[in-house]
Copies of this chain bind each other. A is one copy, B any other.
Amino acid sequence: MIRHFFETKIYYKDVDKMGITYYSRYLEFFEQARTELFSSIGLKVSNIEDLGIYLPVITCYCDYKISTKFEDKIIIQSEISKIPKARLKIDYSLKKKNSKKVSVSGYTIHAFMKENGKSTRAPNSILKILKNNLTE
């Protein structure tokens, strides 16, 4: 299991007229969380892209359980639990800081794509790093 915790905060830009975080904003938080997860195991997304490999989202799912509000501190746990073949799944669980209850949970599934837009298999250099970190 590769697991990472990313902390951020809800700002005005995120909050809608109900006074709660607008639903699409969580996908941005998920993106920040997975970028930092990759970074934490030495896989900077910029570097992956320098190899001509992109990781577009092909599926995303989100369950909104408890709303978050302006100036709430939040922590997003992101997790990879399986070696990807053609598809990489990342799970997310977002909580308010100092809360044990999950506010929002979800996942994204990513393809590996070449610069020309064609899908490809995960490059060995990436697989190796994922494997090493999964079995630790």
A interface residue numbers (CB < 8 A to B): 9, 11-13, 15-20, 22-25, 27-28, 31-32, 35, 39, 44-46, 54, 56-65, 67, 70-71, 108, 117
Interface residue from B39, B44, B70 paired with A17 (Cβ < 8 Å): B70
Provide the main secondary structure of the chain A interface.
mixed
| Chain B residues, Cβ within 8 Å of A12 | 16-17, 22, 31, 35, 45
Interface residue from B15, B27, B58, B64 paired with A63 (Cβ < 8 Å): B58
Q: Which residue of B lies closest to A24 (CB)?
A: B27
Indicate if the CB atoms of B24 and A13 lie closer than 8 Å.
Answer: yes
Indicate if the CB atoms of A71 and B35 lie closer than 8 Å.
Answer: yes
Whole-angstrom distance between the Cβ of A71 and the nearest chain B Cβ: 5
Whole-angstrom distance between the Cβ of A5 and the nearest chain B Cβ: 16
| Chain B residues, Cβ within 8 Å of A71 | 35, 39, 44-46
A64 and B54 in contact (CB under 8 A), knowing A22-B13, A31-B13, A70-B46? no
28 chain-A/chain-B pairs, Cβ below 8 angstroms = A11-B32, A11-B35, A12-B31, A12-B45, A13-B16, A13-B22, A15-B16, A16-B16, A17-B17, A17-B70, A18-B54, A23-B31, A23-B60, A23-B108, A24-B24, A24-B25, A24-B27, A24-B28, A39-B71, A44-B71, A45-B70, A46-B70, A46-B71, A57-B64, A59-B61, A60-B61, A60-B64, A61-B61
